[in-house]
Amino acid sequence: MLNVRSYNLGPLQTNAYLLTGADPKRGIVIDPGMNPGPLLRAVQDMEIEAILLTHAHFDHIGGVDELRKLKQCPVYVHALESDWLGSPKLNGSLMWPETSPPISTAPAEYDLAEGQVLQLLGLSFKVFHTPGHSPGSVSFLCGNDLFSGDVLFKLGVGRTDLSGGRERDLIDSIRGKLYRLDEEVKVYPGHGPRTSIGFEKRNNPYVPAQ
């Protein structure tokens, strides 16, 4: 059984997710964003097995260094964005100086790839490579819970006008991978409220189901 807690972090209101399984003192974090104070307080007395990144844009990685140093836990990111953690130009933090200082972190310990299955918290997390918003965007599926990053939102999709973004890839990722999941799958996006695959297939104005 996966337990999901959400923390709305930073000026772009990025969703960071703290996940626990049977042991409430062991967790993983997906996308520790900027100004991570509330998240860091929540994990103070926990063991964190891993930090999983849906992609390496600055608003999703702003809290990586603080959390990694606090909990001595490894970071996972798709191989196509392995260089982004250490590059303020690639991760976008140079583009909005009024929003973020330049962000540069140490490299991730592990690469992610399509079809990979991570064993964490005694549970299985399947990795879907879902490019379009960024070249290394991934989504994580654990049971009926999907963490979609900035690929699929409630009644929306991720922007494709940033470095490496491509609208065709985004549509293919959503239709070819995410919309093929069970309609009951709950979607936890990188911004905004939770939704479901079935709801988006019926109602998303940007990528209607075919």
- The string of pLDDT tens digits covering residues 155-181 is 999 999 988 999 999 999 999 999 999
For residue 50, the model assigns a pLDDT of 98
Domains and CATH numbers, the chain: 3-203 (3.60.15.10)
For residue 1, the model assigns a pLDDT of 87
For residue 36, the model assigns a pLDDT of 97
Nearest to 207 by CA among 102, 132, 141, 134: 132
Per-residue pLDDT of the chain (210 residues; tens, 9 = 90+): 899 999 999 999 999 999 999 999 999 999 999 999 999 999 999 999 999 999 999 999 999 999 999 999 999 999 999 999 999 999 999 888 888 899 999 999 999 999 999 999 999 999 999 999 999 999 999 999 999 999 999 999 999 998 899 999 999 999 999 999 999 999 999 999 999 999 999 999 999 987
For residue 123, the model assigns a pLDDT of 97
For residue 100, the model assigns a pLDDT of 86
Integer-rounded Cα radius of gyration of the chain: 16
For residue 25, the model assigns a pLDDT of 97
Q: Is residue 149 within 8 Å of 137, Cβ to Cβ?
A: yes
For residue 209, the model assigns a pLDDT of 87
The one-letter amino acid code at 163 reads S
Q: Which residues contact 135 (CB under 8 A, 6 or more apart)?
A: 80, 81, 164
Give 204's Cβ-side CA count (13 Å radius): 25
Q: Which residues of 101-130 are buried (b: 16+ CB within 10 A; e: fewer)?
A: eebbbeebeeebeeebebebbebebebbbb
